[in-house]
Chains A and B, each alone.
Chain A
Amino acid sequence: MNEIYKTDALIAEDIDAYLETHQHKTMLRFITCGSVDDGKSTLIGRLLYDSKMIFEDQLATLEADSRRVGTQGENIDFALLVDGLAAEREQGITIDVAYRFFATEKRKFIVADTPGHEQYTRNMATGASTADLAVILIDARKGVLTQTRRHSYLAHLLGIRHLVLAINKMDLIGYDKAAYDRILAEYRAFAESIGIADFTPIPISGLAGDNMTTRSANTRWYDGPTLMEHLETVELDQTLDQQKPFRMQVQWVNRPNLDFRGFSGTIASGHVSVGDEIRVLPSGKTSVISRIVTMDGDLDMAVAGQAVTLCFADEIDCSRGQVITAANNPVEVADQFEASVIWMDEDQLVPGRTYWLKLGPLTVSATVAQPKYQVNVNTMEHLASKTLDLNAIGVANITTDREIPFAPYQDSRDLGGFILIDKMTNRTVGAGLIHFALRRAQNIHWQATDISREHHAGMKNQKPMVLWMTGLSGSGKSTIANLVEKKLARMNRHTFLLDGDNVRHGLNKDLGFTDADRVENIRRVGEVAKLMTDAGLIVITAFISPFRSEREMVRAMMQPGEFVEIFIDTPLEEAEKRDVKGLYAKARAGQLKNFTGIDSPYEAPEAPQIRIDTARMSAEEAADLIIAKLIP
């Protein structure tokens, strides 16, 4: 009988004493990683079983299932206990992140069970993001595999400080010490090469139970801890976090009435006491903590991991997404970073496209530049890459639309880890780990000028705007745009027409027609149009601009209401029939790649301010309609 079973006696004899013990347990979160056949689910099933987290009815189901679909003959297939969803059971593999719970005398554990299949890097990153420790499983018969390297790299990348190398299925190699040592030496060489300073190797058998909770008589040559002993005693990240400088991201401003204003959030690191001087970033304003409020009464001090509400002695501005720090030890603020990016979506990264970047409670617009390199997670080689596909990991520069407070990921998961969200689908498409801020952003400041954009516009006696025409090639954008400009000129309006083809002869002649280049094309045109509106002009643009995201990006660059989306709506068949420039014929013949409507998509506007149906009106009529709508 091991330690765990002694618990029963205590529960039966003195429940109050048991509760007292249980109530002071700490919590360890860990992940298990291994390939499909390394015995990962079996290992977790064994931990649950040994810590009595399996109830009798579950055991009955387990026995029945083991006979029906199990892989262990008449024996219990512990893996079935862990593999949850119906579809996965049929495939015989775990395909997502599942969380399991068990507790011993000393700790409560949350295990993230993450898949070993190559296409599911994102799931492992998800599981690793909240873990203090990773158990890397190796099949003793197979040794260090590609997957072993990948899992170790990911665990290390995601900032897991404690790695356990569980060399499993020792029973199947006769508990051979020499084989164990060979695997260990090979792994150590690899670990050092990617910067893993330390790890804990343990020879085990999940199936037979060796060195799981009790020291195995089969491995007398091994004098380290059992897996469970190690899990129960390893240092928690949270303990370390408390010793770092104080940081708290504000989630919510608590304002029940005029007399109370508090800032609610979870303390990311360090500790804070009443009377401490604090600084709010990015504003840099300082104050003093006047109260630490909780429903259980005010606290004198709060530590990393606690969710609290802080009150300041002074009325300074502070809102969601800002960071409260120790006054004499603030975090950095920047709008350009180098970061590792893990891509998690079927649609690949489009460099230059704006995504939502969410760092804790803070959401900003951000673009990812073309990756500096992509990491081959099997060989750790750096490869050149124009983009990132699903499950790819690369290093790239990120630019946000405003300055944000942050910390390098290796110092703080909360302040250095962000997710990227597609603005159209709202899916979480990537995760990023900030390395450092780029100096450029810090050293270039916005120069204030005395003649304002209002002044420029006032001199021209007009309201600047951007008339953004979008539509397929051959839809009539340039023709209509030209007519609109002529009519406006006759009305003494100061205008400028930016035409797609013309811009590609100069400003954008270095760009091609890949998705990334199309995004950059529109970004530059947007920036130019913005300068022109600052100069007070009415800007008319004629670009296919096939992607909604980029049209929205340009809209976001402009002052509210200045961007007018005009959809020149000509069906593909009609545009192809006209084929003024002979481009559709070339595209159909395969001589022209990435042609919108043929082998590159056109995302029609969902709610354009003006829609021109070219089948029902002439270009003249269209131009008149646009002007009538804009200038009453």
Chain B
Amino acid sequence: MSLRSLTHLQRLEAEAIHIMREVVSEAEKPVMLYSVGKDSAVMLHLAKKAFYPSPPPFPLLHVDTTWKFRDMYSLRDRAARKAGMQLLVHQNPDAVRQGINPFDHGGLHTDMWKTEGLKQALDLHGFDAAFGGARRDEEKSRAKERIFSFRTASHRWDPKNQRPELWRTYNARKARGESMRVFPLSNWTELDIWQYIHLENIEIVPLYYAAERPTVIRDGLTLMVDDDRFPLKGEEPVMRSIRFRTLGCYPLTGAVESRATTLPEIIQEMLLTTTSERQGRAIDHDQAASMEKKKQEGYF
């Protein structure tokens, strides 16, 4: 009998759907971390597929830093509405009070808004499983993390003490207070993500496409002046045709000069480029093991 082989994207899609259905069946109160980036967009799309015709049976959670691009906030609200899902937004009240920002506070900015903010939000709502869009190809310590990644009650990850993960059988059992971070996109690469967005026609933030935008160049990063909170040190913003390969806080996210205005052009540029995706993010620029340390402390 001759049947058809599934393509690698079909298999990745099926795997992600399988993982999401497991979480919903095993966890008491799951949530999907939604950062509005392209990986989140794919994850949300897969969630809709996994439970169709039901809406995904969990809310979306955006751990907000208040410093995201304006385009991200508008897509966030629209995407949640279209999916028929509740959107929870958490801003760390301590960071709000202290006015933590990426210009004055360096590493503290990520730590307080993202790491602490995430822990606060998970504790506040009592979520015991949180989907994240991280991929194993992004960074070396991610490559070793399980799909179902166990966290202690204080949200710590212990890379030396991970549960073995066989077949597609996942152990989601845990004691009260402990939680799982679950990564349905673990086995996707950046190319897979782009290709899938293209094939499935998934809406992404326009910043991924090249356009003329006001920019300054600082410490080797091309930064976009997205609003008037950007303190200019005598610099004059210059209009450049840029796009973003990854989206975070706008003062921390480097753009690349580009003319790519369609998805195939973005993919073409990505394939011919010679720098890896995370280089655009200032967070990774410290030592090699920085991400592993951050993750042990509870960073997603």
Contact = CB atoms under 8 A, between A and B. Distances in A.
Nearest to A56: B274
Interface in A364-395: none
Interface residues of A, number: 83
Contacts of A294: 49, 52
Interface in B161-215: 162-169, 171, 173-175, 186-187, 189, 191-192, 195, 198-199
Contacts of A417: 166-167, 169
Interface in A601-627: none
A256 B166 contact: no
A27 B8 contact: yes
B3 to A, nearest CB: 5
Nearest to A90: B289
Given A86-B289, A255-B54, A101 B3 contact: no
Interface string B202-236: 00000000000000000000000000000000000
Interface stretch (B58-66, B85-93, B95-103, B133-141): B133-141
A476 B48 CA distance: 60
B6 A306 contact: yes
Nearest to B18: A266
B169 A419 contact: yes
Interface stretch (B67-75, B109-117, B118-126, B264-272): B264-272
Given A101-B136, A306-B14, 7 more contacts: A26-B5, A57-B275, A58-B276, A97-B144, A130-B167, A238-B11, A356-B173
Interface in A335-357: 344, 356
A243 interface: yes
A146 interface: no
B166 A419 contact: yes
Given A295-B52, A306-B6, A427-B163, A85 B292 contact: yes
B238 interface: no
B160 A361 contact: no
Contacts of A84: 140-141, 143-144, 292
B272 A12 contact: yes
B264 A426 contact: no
Interface in A7-28: 8, 11-12, 15-16, 18-19, 22-27
B184 to A, nearest CB: 11
Contacts of A99: 136, 143-144, 186-187
A293 B49 CA distance: 10
B164 A125 contact: yes
A23 B21 contact: no
Interface in B1-55: 1, 3-15, 17-18, 21-22, 24-25, 48-55
13 contacts: A22-B191, A27-B8, A27-B11, A58-B276, A99-B187, A103-B191, A107-B8, A238-B11, A251-B22, A262-B53, A305-B6, A305-B10, A427-B163
Interface in A562-613: none
Nearest to A8: B272
Contact of A426 (B140, B141, B171): B171
A283 interface: no
A413 interface: yes
Contacts of A264: 21, 50-51
Contacts of B1: 242-243
Nearest to B51: A254
A399 B41 CA distance: 45
Nearest to A321: B25
Interface residues of B, number: 71
Nearest to B190: A101
Contacts of A87: 159-160
Contact of A251 (B8, B13, B21): B21
A263 B279 CA distance: 43
B164 A122 contact: yes
A236 B273 CA distance: 31
B276 A426 contact: no
Contacts of A295: 48-49, 52
Q: Find the residue from B12, B140, B272, B288 having the highest chain A CB count within 10 A.
A: B140
Contacts of A24: 7
A293 B55 CA distance: 14
A361 B199 CA distance: 30
A-B interface, 7 closest residue pairs, ranked by CB to CB distance from nearest: A56-B274, A86-B289, A27-B8, A84-B140, A55-B276, A295-B52, A307-B17
Interface string A72-103: 00000000000011110100000111111101
A130 B198 CA distance: 28
A418 B166 CA distance: 8
B170 to A, nearest CB: 8
A424 B144 CA distance: 26
B160 to A, nearest CB: 7
A344 B54 CA distance: 38
B143 A100 contact: yes
Contacts of B21: 251-252, 264-265, 307
A67 B287 CA distance: 16
A87 B293 CA distance: 11
A307 B53 CA distance: 14
Nearest to B142: A84
Interface string B237-273: 0000000000000000000000000001101100111
A108 interface: yes
A26 B168 contact: no
Given A254-B53, A426-B173, A431-B164, A11 B274 contact: no
Interface string A102-137: 010001101000000000001101100110000000
A299 to B, nearest CB: 12
Nearest to A54: B276
Contact of A11 (B51, B174, B187, B271): B271
A85 B144 contact: yes
A303 B4 contact: yes
A22 to B, nearest CB: 6
A361 to B, nearest CB: 7
A353 to B, nearest CB: 16
A65 interface: yes
A266 B198 CA distance: 25
Nearest to A130: B167
A243 B273 CA distance: 42
B219 to A, nearest CB: 15
A123 B53 contact: no
B15 to A, nearest CB: 8
A414 interface: yes
A361 B8 CA distance: 24
Contacts of B168: 130, 266, 360, 414
B10 A57 contact: no
A156 interface: no
A56 B187 contact: no
B144 A55 contact: no
A61 interface: yes
